[in-house]
Amino acid sequence: MTVTRPLPIPDDHSAGYWAAARRHTLALPRCARCHSFALPPSETCRHCGTFEPEFRFEAVSGTGRVRSWTMVRKASLLGFADQVPYLLVDVELSAQPGLRMIGRLLGEPADPHLDDPVQVVFEDVDDDISIPAFTLVRETPGRGDTPTGDEAGR
Q: Which letter does DSSP use for residue 105 in this model?
A: B
Beta strands 117-124 and 130-136, pairing class: antiparallel
Torsion angle of alpha carbons 149, 22, 25, 152, nearest 10°? 0
Torsion angle of alpha carbons 6, 135, 67, 15, nearest 10°? -40
Q: Which is nearer to other proteins, 4 or 146 (CB)?
A: 4
Q: Which is nearer to other proteins, 79 or 107 (CB)?
A: 79
- The reply to whether 5 sits near other proteins by the rule CB under 8 A is yes
Nearest distance in Å: CB 19, other proteins: 13
Residues 55-84 that bind other proteins (CB under 8 A): 67-80, 83
Residues 25-54 that bind other proteins (CB under 8 A): 38-40, 42, 46
- The reply to whether 127 sits near other proteins by the rule CB under 8 A is no
Number of residues that bind other proteins (CB under 8 A): 45
Rounded-to-integer distance, Cα 55 and Cα 98, Å: 18
Rounded-to-integer distance, Cα 71 and Cα 82, Å: 14
Residues near other proteins (CB under 8 A): 3-11, 14, 38-40, 42, 46, 67-80, 83, 86, 88, 90, 100-104, 113-114, 125, 129, 131-133
